Structure 1
Amino acid sequence: MHSGMSSPYDPIDATLGPAGARMPPWQWRVLVYLRALAGFLMVKTVYSWTLICGVWDGDTSRFEMLSLAAQAAVIWAAIMNPVAAVGLWLGASWGVVLWLVTAMVQILINASAPEGVGRLLIVAAIETVLVAVYAFLTYKATRESEE
């Protein structure tokens, strides 16, 4: 094989560089945050699907009893969160964009829901904090790479 060519038997990350190469600290923190966020989104996905499928008994957790806005928020989360989680886990830019769009839509839906406002406003507040933390980490990582 040529020195610039990779073999099908090389590890998948062989093209990333020498084993001693390290990410700068703030970029590493962004990656760890994105992966933790991906795990959080998967937990939200499981919760959304258990709500849709009616796993729990009781009137407060029945999907059919929720307002239309609350149902829309649950369905949106059940569909979009796992896709965004995969992108975040991979550290792909499309995953971040999809998560930000999903978070903004959920914040708007949850903030405008007339019924079940307490639970939905908590979700909207958590999403807002998660976006703010991502913005801070990205800002620090960008400044680090400019230095």
Structure 2
Amino acid sequence: MLHDSAHVPKPSLTEVLFNWFLRLVSASCFWFALSYWAMLIGFSHGGAARFDLLSPEWRAAATALAVVYPVAAMGLWLLVSWGPVVWVVAAAIEVAMDKFYPGIFGPRPLLFVLHAAVAVTFVLFRAALLFQRWRQARKVRVDSP
């Protein structure tokens, strides 16, 4: 059986690098998910951060992040459009924990820098892809009337 189109577009280097970037962020989200789950079940921190021993604030935040991070990891790994959106939700929760409630959750400035770097890199990749598609659309095609 023949393909409908004789020309299948090859992904550009920017698209390939963007996909690898999303997969790398997905792996880090999975790592964060595992660390929150390990904390909640008492596997890490010597069992001192088990769910039943946490304060109500930590229970809410850690439980939400233990659920949101694996979903974000799956969405980013599959390269679907909702993956970055779920990652933004997880990052917003952690940034809010760090910036608005440092007395409860403790300051983690490196985490803010990490999330900001990922967000800026994502925006730069999307801008480069948009510019690439705009340039491709402006090219004169041979099938134009």
Same fold (TM over 0.5): yes
Identity of aligned residues (%): 22
User: Please, which of 68, 74, 81 is the counterpart of residue 69 of structure 2?
Assistant: 81
User: Which residue in the other structure is 1:29 paired with?
Assistant: 17
Unaligned regions of 5+ residues in structure 1, if any?
6-14
In the alignment, is the contact (CA less than 8 A) between 1:44 and 1:81 conserved in 2? yes
Relative contact order higher in (CA < 8 Å, ≥ 6 apart)? 1
* Residue of structure 2 equivalent to 1:105: 93
Distance change >3 Å, CA 66–CA 125, structure 1 → 2: farther
Q: What letter corresponds to residue 84 of structure 1 in structure 2?
A: A
Aligned residue pairs total: 132
The TM-score, its normalising length taken from structure 2, stands at 0.75
Shift of 1:65: 5.5
2:36 maps to what in 1?
48
Tell me the distance in 1 between the aligned counterparts of 2:58 and 2:110.
13
Letter aligned with residue 67 of structure 2 = I
Q: Which residue of the partner structure matches residue 130 of structure 1?
A: 118
Q: 1:62–1:124: structure 2 CA closer, same or farther, 3 Å change rule?
A: farther
Q: Determine the C-alpha separation between the residues in 1 that align with 2:54 and 2:68.
A: 20
RMSD: 2.5
The separation in 1 between residues aligned to 2:16 and 2:112, in whole angstroms, is 27
With over 3 angstroms needed to count, the CA separation of the structure-2 counterparts of 1:125 and 1:63, relative to structure 1, is farther
Cα distance in 2, alignment partners of residues 65 and 54 from structure 1: 9
The more displaced of 63-72 and 50-59 is 63-72
Gaps of 5+ in 2: 136-145
| SS of the residue 2:11 aligns to | coil
Residues 136 and 65 of structure 1: CA distance in aligned 2, closer, same or farther (over 3 Å): farther
Which of 107, 115, 119 lines up with 1:118 in the alignment? 107
Q: Report the AA paired with residue 86 of structure 1.
A: M
